[in-house]
């Protein structure tokens, strides 16, 4: 178990230091295919803009910009990496499972369904960091609920 934990920690460190898909989508909001939402976690100071480009029911591309702690950065990076190319319906299932893992006291992490995202289950042991790990996912939730051409700001302290 400690080997697994170490592997998990190195995954978070790697993504925290070398985030994937950290870039702006400049056509956001114009064509309607790309949506973006801003998110802010005042408890830690994490701040992001999440960009999602859909093609039909496939999410073709995801990226983010922002700054914050290593857990926030790793969570945003892995979200974009793991979800790219998946169907919206599949992404909704992963999203629900991920938020459940981190916010539901009784939820048992299911690594089968979450793949390497299950590493963030360990964040639950540090309650003050849970919102760092959920912020990009809350932003994604808003985008999937999506109102075209409207930007909504996610603030972890208002829900």
Binding site for Zn ion (CB under 5 A): 44, 46, 68-69, 72, 132
Smallest gap from Cβ 35 to Zn ion, in A, equals 24
| Nearest to 135, CA basis, from 84, 68, 35, 58 | 68
Separation CA 140–CA 91 (nearest Å): 10
For residues 101 and 135, what is the distance between their CA atoms, to the nearest angstrom?
14
E runs forming strands in the chain: 34-41, 46-55, 58-67, 153-155
- Least distance CB 153 / Zn ion (angstroms): 17
Nearer to Zn ion, 66 or 68 (CB): 68
Instruction: Give me 6's structure tokens.
Output: 């170490």
Least distance (Å) from Zn ion to the CB of residue 129?
A: 6
By C-beta, is 45 or 111 nearer to Zn ion?
45
Our measurement of the distance from residue 143's CA atom to the centroid of its chain's CA atoms, rounded to an integer in Å, reads 12
Locus of tokens 């930007």: 151
Closer residue to Zn ion in complex, CB, 28/77: 77
Question: Quick one: 45 or 85, whose CB is closer to Zn ion?
Answer: 45
* Least distance CB 68 / Zn ion (angstroms): 5
């Amino acid at each position: 178990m400690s080997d697994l934990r170490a592997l998990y920690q190195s995954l978070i460190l790697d993504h925290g230091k070398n985030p994937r898909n950290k870039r702006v989508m400049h056509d956001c909001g114009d064509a309607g295919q790309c949506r973006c939402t801003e998110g802010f976690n005042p408890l830690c100071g994490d701040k992001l803009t999440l960009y999602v480009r859909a093609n039909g029911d496939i999410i073709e591309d995801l990226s983010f910009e922002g700054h914050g702690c290593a857990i926030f950065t790793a969570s945003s990076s892995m979200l974009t990496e793991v979800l790219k190319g998946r169907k919206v319906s599949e992404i909704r299932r992963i999203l629900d499972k991920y938020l459940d893992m981190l916010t539901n006291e009784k939820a048992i992490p299911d690594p089968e369904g979450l793949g390497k995202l299950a590493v963030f289950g360990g964040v639950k042991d540090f309650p003050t960091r849970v919102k760092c790990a959920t912020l990009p996912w809350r932003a994604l939730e808003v985008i999937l609920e999506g109102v075209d051409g409207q930007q909504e700001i996610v603030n972890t302290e208002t829900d």
